[in-house]
Amino acid sequence: MNPDRRKLLIVLPAAASAALISPSLQAKPQTENTALRIEPAGTASFLPLQQVTLHVAGSGGENGTVVILDGAGREYLRAKAGGALPFVIGGALGRQTARLLDRQGVLAAELEFMVDCSTRLNDEGGVYQALMEAVLWTMMSWNQNYPVTTIRHQDRVYQLFVNWIFDHTLTMKGMKYFWPDLKDAVDFFADTQREDGMIWENCYPSTPDYNYFDWKFHYDDFVRRIGGGFWQLRRAPVESHVEQYFIEALYYTWKATGDTVWMKSKLDSAIRAVRYITKSPYRWSEKYRLVHRGFTIDTWD
């Protein structure tokens, strides 16, 4: 494997978020008499809890008030300006704003700066840092081509860590600390959910021609084409864990994003999946009132 490609994939999450922000500090036009400057300078973004110093230059500025707003527009610091104001960066990530108000509370100067971070680990000797990088590489290289898989369906491009709901869910438990986008996989398997509530196990590029999986899984509709026939949804009839991992993916994605509105929009799909798994004769034992599966040495092979 090309070592340069490996290095590229390891830094891609940071690059993905960095591509959305300006490479340098952004400042709105300031008055002729006052200006704001933040140190340390020369960095694309600052870190949460980083100690920085805001310098107020110009006549009269030192008698004003400094207000700091976080990336969500919430004020988290208000203090007398002075010539230099040290403070600790807090609040929400994103484009933060430092404002200088004069004695009358009128805006005299304004400076915008980026606050961003990514998961990292620093230890003496770098042993655990190297371990974390290796783990990240392993999660990002499931298909050996890209750090994520993309599937186009009904004019939307979905991003998944793995195109299998089982593997995606397990990979996502680690990738949620590194990758900014988590919801697409749950959205995809919810949007393609079978009418009776069954969750498809995976989705692969295909051609409209009849293939092996059409022959193997055609009974009881365990294979289906989407995307004009160029993508194939599949479900091994013997598998009984798929709905479980769909619901688990929904739960862990909600915990990682905190998006309750989005989570609520998927509850109907989750309930339908539970109803399917507790009614399908392929998955449910009425005798024991438990989920079961066929006795087999393997599932797909």
Q: What is the pLDDT along the chain (301 residues), one digit of tens a residue?
A: 444 444 444 444 444 444 333 333 344 445 556 789 999 988 889 999 999 999 998 776 678 899 999 999 999 999 998 889 999 999 999 999 999 998 888 999 999 999 999 888 889 999 999 999 999 988 988 777 678 889 999 999 999 999 999 999 999 999 999 998 999 999 999 999 999 999 999 999 999 999 999 999 999 999 999 999 999 999 998 999 999 999 999 999 999 999 999 999 999 999 999 999 999 999 999 999 999 988 888 777 6
Per-residue model confidence (pLDDT) at position 24:
35
Domains of the chain: 22-115 (2.60.40.1930), 144-291 (no CATH)
The counts of H helices and E strands in the chain are: 8, 14
Backbone angles phi, psi at 104, to 5 degrees: -90, 5
Question: With contact defined as beta carbons under 8 Å apart, do 189 and 164 qualify?
Answer: no
| pLDDT for the residue numbered 14 | 47
Q: What pLDDT score does 301 carry?
A: 63
pLDDT of residue 21: 37
Structure confidence at residue 173 (pLDDT): 94
What is the model's pLDDT at position 296?
Answer: 83
pLDDT of residue 45: 94
Instruction: Give the model's pLDDT for residue 32.
Output: 56
Residue 144 to residue 115: CA distance in whole angstroms: 32
Tell me which residue of 41, 69, 70 sits closest to 55, measured CA to CA. 41
Global pTM value: 0.74
Please provide the DSSP assignment of 209-255 as one string: S--HHHHHHTGGG-EEEEGGGTEEEE--TT---HHHHHHHHHHHHHH
Task: Write the burial class of residue 238 (CB in 10 Å: 0-12 exposed, 13-18 middle, 19+ buried).
Answer: middle
- Copy the structure tokens of residue 190: 């919810």
